[in-house]
Structure 1
Amino acid sequence: LDAALAVARARVGADADKVRLAVVAMGKCGGHELNYVSDVDVIFAHEAADGVGDDVSLRVATQLASNLIQVCSAHTGEGTIWPVDAALRPEGKAGALSRTIAGHVGYYERWASTWEFQALLKARPAAGDLALGRAYVDAVNPFVWKAAERDGFVSDTQKMRRRVIAHIPSREADRELKLGAGGLRDVEFAVQLLQLVHGRTDTGIRQPTTLSALAALTRSGYVGREDGEAMHEAYAFLRRMEHRLQLYRLRRTHVVPDDEESLRWLARSLGYLRDPVVRLEKEWGHQRIEVRRLHEKLFYRPLLDAVARIPSGQAHLSAKAAEERLTALGYADPKAALRHLEALTTGVSRRAALQRALLPVMLEWLSEGSDPDAGLFGFRRISDALGATPWYLRSLRDEGLVAQHFATILSTSRYTTALLEREPEALRLLGHDLAPLSAEALTDEMVARAARRR
């Protein structure tokens, strides 16, 4: 980047001295995590030299930035290994290629989306005027550590993750190493979400690199030791797999091939010499399941430790940290939520043990509804009434669709929750497709019920 900027300055000529330009690394470049054929994400910030007007400084900064991008792209022709991408800048590709620090701050104060603050976690001065780059990072950092307090923080982050998964072509969903369920993005998303929530008051967990941040979260107790080690191992495996996959013919891809020849090459490059394809598929499948399990667990299960004092290797949050996490999840009354969790999980009974196992994923599903507080309260009321009934918790534990539909109803409709309290046997129906019946199917159902009654 520095070499390309030097070439850009030579191209622009004497006007280059009219502006200070900082190149701020973002994404994997910002976190020192580049692949062999990664995009190099950057943001440009500039300040006018003494006596130079704003219009002139913007024009020159834009010339320098665009020439820098061209120089990096032209170096290896059409098959650029590390193309520079400035799309993470304010307003994306529609925005100015470079802004002053004041211009960046004005945008982040008024218009930025939650995901843009999440992206700034990895921002670092990389080239050009490093002092100006440090000033840019210092200016935007306060916005990053207030992001979890924004209205819609939870729903925005959830929508972003769902949108990423929804855009994966169906034929590639099971082979997507980066964006799919149990992939690299699940690890990064969980780590960054924990940083955004707890990094507001704990500066020790603000590292830009994923594994360094995970280690800091583990040391500080936000992630249990065993979970932190398992997540580290899974992420390292997936990144090695990603590196080897991209070295194969130097292609920018995250889709694991399904043909025998390519899979054998990939497996042998990772050290699997006997039955390489079978062993690779088995290990990859194991790590995907582990990542998905930990992704769901890291953000939710420590809440239970905070209220139930479970003797385990999980992280032990303080009551204040647990309240912060519940607030970030969208609970309007975190103190009441903690009381419900304590009532549901305290004790050594089988019921308390089952509810401790269920609640991490139930909390996630409840937080996706319009009223998580009412959902958790409804779950407590129904569990108090039915907890000793053999089929109730067993159905929630063993039939995932029942639990998910149950959580959706609880956090969406108080009326339907009240109906379930009066008619708890209806919970058994939640394992079926809940799409409305057609008129014809409804008629057939009513006729069948009438016949059964006769």
Structure 2
Amino acid sequence: MYGALTEEQWRQRFVARAPALAAVAPRLFAASPFVADAFARLFDDDSAEFDALMRSRADGELAVALLAACADDDEPALMRRLRRLRRAEMARIAVRDIAGIAELDETLGDLSALADACIEAALRNAGKRLRQRHGVPRDAAGDEVGPLVLGMGKLGGRELNFSSDIDLIFCHGDSGETCPEPGRGGDGARGLSNEEYFVRLAQDVQRLLASQTEDGFVFRVDLMLRPFGSAGTLSVSYAALEEYYQAHGREWERYALIKARPVAGDIDAGRVLLKVLRPFVYRRYLDYNAIGNLRNLKVLIAEDVARRGEEDNVKLGRGGIRELEFIVQSFQLVRGGAESALRDARLRPVLRYLGGAGHLDSAVARQLDTCYVFLRRLENAIQMYGDQQTHTLPVQDDARRALCAALGAADWTALSAQVEFVRGFVQQQFDAIFNERGAADADASSAERKLVRALWFAMSSGDTALADLRAAGFAQEPQKIVAALEDLRNARLVRAMPDGDVQKMIALLATLFEAAREQTRPETALCRTLRVVQAIAGRSTYLSLLHDNAEPRAQLVRLCAASPWLSALIAQSPVLLDALFDTRTLYALPGRDELRDELLQRLGELAPGDTEAGMDLLRRYQKEVTLRIAAADLSGALPLVQVSDRLTWLAESLVDAALARAWDEMRSSYGEPLRGDGERAGFAVVAYGKFGGIELGYGSDLDLVFLHDCDQLDADTVGGARAINNGVFYARLAQRLINWLATQTPAGRVYEIDMELRPNGKSGLLVSSLQSFAGYQRESAWTWEHQALTRARAVAGDPAIRDAFECVRREVLTRARDAGQLRADIADMRAKMRAELDRSTDALWDIKQGRGGLIDIEFITQYLVLRDAQRAPALVNYSDNWRQLDALAAAGSIDGEDRDALICCYRRYRAWAHERSLQEEQVRIAADQFADERRFVSGLFERLFAARLR
């Protein structure tokens, strides 16, 4: 290795060329005979820049230098240049790593950049020669077709290890054939089909990189990840690649594509291609099948490692790199469709995100990152010893001493202890995610299993079945369970289930029986839960996950026990079960801005113009967040006021997002309407009723009014594919917005929309100009419409129109009024409503419309606001009943005791009605309930409206 020089003489020579590395030189050459040999060869080259060992490379630096240097190389010269560059660059990288100059990310990044540069150089060189012989590949339109190389695995993740294969997939654009290059005069070059051309290109690139010469090799190239593996063509068109994954893609290929990255050729086309393939890799919603499939793959790997006797393999063995990668990939595959931060090919940024987002405990994520750094440095150090592709801890003493030197370990005993600790921690975390979680809880008692099987297969029926259920703790209404099981057994989806899935369901039923027994009304809880099971019967993944995970299973039963409305919601949209498995977000409810930002982020990941996917997303998001709000509500973690706040914020976010999508669709088709001053005319949404009053409940509809500020309705839109009348534009925009929110799709609807509070009601225009709206409110609106205006607020659309609406609202509500006429109008309206809508009887009282109920409190508030707003304009600052009552007390319109009593009554009424809505029960209560509250509200109402009522 050292020729005529002794090792000490050679080391002195090295230090003379690289004095900054004098202190670490003994470690460098003790750690890696390969590095020593590489530098011995470099000494033959007087131009070798040893100072470069001390500096990191800038992004793209190596590729630029290499491509410039080998632009005119013939094949032998290129192969020689690439191999010598590889040896020198690997020595540089090894020195910086062993000396501790470079962090792991730099080491892996430099190794990956070296591979990228060599692949690009080989691709260009091989392509140049092929074009000279066969012409330029072109498609049917005559456009040039270029190659693309996808880097997979460690290369794709910019995490290449020291002596690694590079996993590549060669692709190209459309079909066609080669044509002579312009200016070459049709010199007799033999044409090829594009398929033949790019196969030859792939073969040439592989040979240039992987062939063993006197200078060694550049990289071993593995092409087995291409479609159909060894049976597939070496280069595949983009269209064929997309078709392959759609029709034949296997689960392990999803994992492989997580790491895919364009590394050479048409990089921009590669990014587009990977975006097209994204739905194959990342499911749109949470994909729990991935965990089981990864677990099965890990079992196969473990069995192969055991068969080969490679338990000391730091990559594939127990607690090794692969297990750590699987931990991260499990979250990527399960949640990557919903969370873009997980769609990163690099492991460490994803691991940091998992800790920051709460998917993993932050301390666990940090420790896993530390373990990853150690294992990857260990792997590199093993391979630096002799530039061999091995992942196994050495058994020879020399190799062990070298490994200790590379990693700065005191001795083999100390290093072995550290390896064992790291692998133990990784395996512990792997088992926590991939083992049959909740198995102990899921394994229902033998008695429960026997009972369920007996009931399912009718071995226990009639009176015997009822007796068995009573003995099992379902003593109140066991017949309901018998009927519910019969319905489940006869359901179409269940009858179509394969035997294996039926067994899964029966196993799940046993655990649900146990969970239901813990509820106050176990029969009700179980029967409602069985309706959810019937809805997911065709989704074996959910059956398995509920069986395997005790806490989400218990949460489902609790929610079903608490509310038939919620159990029906989950049964209608089983994808909501995903929220139960995400304890990170189930009770951690987002705030107003977070709701809007999260929704916009999800929408931003959809393809532009994909209306169907957008409508589907809005519906699922509304149901998902509503479920989370309800779960927090029923757990007691969220008071009523905050429930209404969050349901209202959710509606605001959804209306805003739907308006943005509807406007974009209209603009792309028709352009935009302009005002007379040449500025774009706007559009805004005004909320009335419970939405305007920030009092939305579960299942509330939205009372909306639409406004615009266009003063040229007879003109046409500008800037679109075709122009339409501005008035028609706004009518279509409004209808499109309503469709986005209210159209029934397989995912349901977002909200029912009520437009009857617009000017002139059903006979009025769908969209009013701000000017006509103001004129109507000033001159034509009825008193009840001004009452409604007290609870109105702008919630979406053009800020200028929203501000203008608030000005109109304030102006109208604060104008002088005849108190007697106002009192008479409101009392008459209340009497009319009570006559038409009050469903009270001698035995039951209607808490909403009955005398002394919710509407009486609202009418009291609205009357006082309209009566006194002229002298106290602050009364119209808010649109919600409670703050209006506070403002009335501050203005002296009502005394503090009456204000407190009204708010107390309002809160109690709403809380009771809210609970009844969750139970899907009517808002009527026994006539002797709320007696004090009714007496107070009725008395105050009569005092205020006494003159009219008499």
TM range (shorter): 0.5 to 0.7
Instruction: Output the CA distance in 2 between the equivalents of 1:230 and 1:253.
Output: 25
Residues 7-33 of structure 1: CA deviation (Å, up to 9, x unaligned): 211331333521311011111110001
Instruction: Output the CA distance in 2 between the equivalents of 1:300 and 1:80.
Output: 42
How big is the alpha-carbon RMSD for the aligned residues of Structure 1 and Structure 2? Answer: 3.8
1:44 to 2:170 alignment = yes
Q: What letter matches 2:127 in structure 1?
A: R
Change (3 A) 1:50 1:59: closer
Partner of 2:389: 252
In the TM superposition, residue 156 of structure 1 has moved relative to its aligned partner by 3.0
For residues 164-179 of structure 1, the aligned pairs below 5 Å read: 164-170=301-307, 172-179=309-316
Partner of 2:120: 2
Match of 1:65 among 202, 205, 214: 202
Partner of 1:12: 130
1:210 to 2:347 alignment = yes
Instruction: Output the CA distance in 2 between the equivalents of 1:206 and 1:341.
Output: 39
Change (3 A) 1:338 1:295: farther
Contact 2:281–2:333 (CA<8 Å) still a contact in 1? yes
Q: What letter matches 1:57 in structure 2?
A: N
Contact 2:342–2:350 (CA<8 Å) still a contact in 1? yes
Contact 2:302–2:317 (CA<8 Å) still a contact in 1? yes
Instruction: Output the CA distance in 2 between the equivalents of 1:42 and 1:4.
Output: 13
Secondary structure at 1:226's aligned position in 2?
Answer: helix
Secondary structure at 2:345's aligned position in 1?
Answer: coil
Unaligned runs of at least 5 residues, structure 1: 305-330, 345-366, 382-454
Instruction: Output the CA distance in 2 between the equivalents of 1:164 and 1:129.
Output: 35
Residues 214-257 of structure 1: CA deviation (Å, up to 9, x unaligned): 11111221111100011001111000000000000111000111
Change (3 A) 1:87 1:155: same
In the TM superposition, residue 48 of structure 1 has moved relative to its aligned partner by 3.7
In the TM superposition, residue 66 of structure 1 has moved relative to its aligned partner by 0.9
Change (3 A) 1:167 1:295: same
Residues 167-188 of structure 1: CA deviation (Å, up to 9, x unaligned): 1155633311100110000000
Change (3 A) 1:77 1:148: farther
Instruction: Output the CA distance in 2 between the equivalents of 1:135 and 1:151.
Output: 27
Match of 2:235 among 78, 93, 98: 98
Unaligned runs of at least 5 residues, structure 2: 1-118, 138-144, 180-190, 440-503, 518-539, 555-950
Q: What letter matches 1:187 in structure 2?
A: L
For residues 54-453 of structure 1, the aligned pairs below 5 Å read: 56-74=193-211, 79-146=216-283, 153-170=290-307, 172-273=309-410, 276-298=411-433, 373=546
Instruction: Output the CA distance in 2 between the equivalents of 1:215 and 1:260.
Output: 37
In the TM superposition, residue 261 of structure 1 has moved relative to its aligned partner by 2.3
Instruction: Output the CA distance in 1 between the equivalents of 2:136 and 2:388.
Output: 38
Residues 188-212 of structure 1: CA deviation (Å, up to 9, x unaligned): 0110011110111111221111111
Secondary structure at 2:168's aligned position in 1?
Answer: strand
Secondary structure at 1:250's aligned position in 2?
Answer: coil
Secondary structure at 1:167's aligned position in 2?
Answer: helix
Instruction: Output the CA distance in 1 between the equivalents of 2:162 and 2:330.
Output: 27
Residues 306-330 of structure 1: CA deviation (Å, up to 9, x unaligned): xxxxxxxxxxxxxxxxxxxxxxxxx
Partner of 1:385: none
Contact 2:227–2:241 (CA<8 Å) still a contact in 1? yes
Change (3 A) 1:59 1:171: closer
In the TM superposition, residue 296 of structure 1 has moved relative to its aligned partner by 2.1
Residues 358-402 of structure 1: CA deviation (Å, up to 9, x unaligned): xxxxxxxxx99x96655768xx99xxxxxxxxxxxxxxxxxxxxx
Instruction: Output the CA distance in 1 between the equivalents of 2:344 and 2:197.
Output: 33
Change (3 A) 1:55 1:180: same
Contact 2:336–2:343 (CA<8 Å) still a contact in 1? yes
In the TM superposition, residue 5 of structure 1 has moved relative to its aligned partner by 0.6
Q: What letter matches 1:295 in structure 2?
A: F
Change (3 A) 1:303 1:176: same
Instruction: Output the CA distance in 2 between the equivalents of 1:247 and 1:126.
Output: 24
**Of the two, which has the highest radius of gyration?**
2
Instruction: Output the CA distance in 2 between the equivalents of 1:17 and 1:120.
Output: 30
Aligned length: 330
Specify which structure has the bigger relative contact order, considering alpha-carbon pairs within 8 angstroms and separated by 6 or more residues. 1
Secondary structure at 1:223's aligned position in 2?
Answer: coil
In the TM superposition, residue 100 of structure 1 has moved relative to its aligned partner by 1.0
Instruction: Output the CA distance in 2 between the equivalents of 1:117 and 1:43.
Output: 14
Secondary structure at 2:150's aligned position in 1?
Answer: strand
Instruction: Output the CA distance in 2 between the equivalents of 1:265 and 1:74.
Output: 29
Q: What letter matches 2:418 in structure 1?
A: E
Instruction: Output the CA distance in 1 between the equivalents of 2:434 and 2:295.
Output: 13
Change (3 A) 1:291 1:135: same
Contact 2:436–2:548 (CA<8 Å) still a contact in 1? no
Q: What letter matches 2:130 in structure 1?
A: V
Contact 1:337–1:376 (CA<8 Å) still a contact in 2? no
Change (3 A) 1:341 1:2: farther
Contact 1:20–1:49 (CA<8 Å) still a contact in 2? no
Instruction: Output the CA distance in 2 between the equivalents of 1:90 and 1:217.
Output: 31
Q: What letter matches 1:186 in structure 2?
A: E
Secondary structure at 1:29's aligned position in 2?
Answer: helix
Instruction: Output the CA distance in 2 between the equivalents of 1:289 and 1:250.
Output: 28
In the TM superposition, residue 259 of structure 1 has moved relative to its aligned partner by 2.4
Q: What letter matches 2:424 in structure 1?
A: I
Contact 1:58–1:99 (CA<8 Å) still a contact in 2? yes
Structure holding more helix per residue:
1
Q: What letter matches 2:172 in structure 1?
A: H
Partner of 2:149: 23
Secondary structure at 2:408's aligned position in 1?
Answer: coil
Contact 2:381–2:403 (CA<8 Å) still a contact in 1? yes
Change (3 A) 1:49 1:90: closer
In the TM superposition, residue 300 of structure 1 has moved relative to its aligned partner by 7.9
Change (3 A) 1:372 1:152: closer
- Report the TM-score when normalising by structure 2: 0.32
Change (3 A) 1:172 1:299: closer
Residues 56-106 of structure 1: CA deviation (Å, up to 9, x unaligned): 010001011110111111375695352122111111111111111110111
Instruction: Output the CA distance in 2 between the equivalents of 1:26 and 1:69.
Output: 15
Change (3 A) 1:86 1:151: same
Contact 2:292–2:434 (CA<8 Å) still a contact in 1? no
Change (3 A) 1:242 1:151: closer
Partner of 1:33: 159
Identical amino acids, percent of aligned pairs? 29
Change (3 A) 1:237 1:374: closer
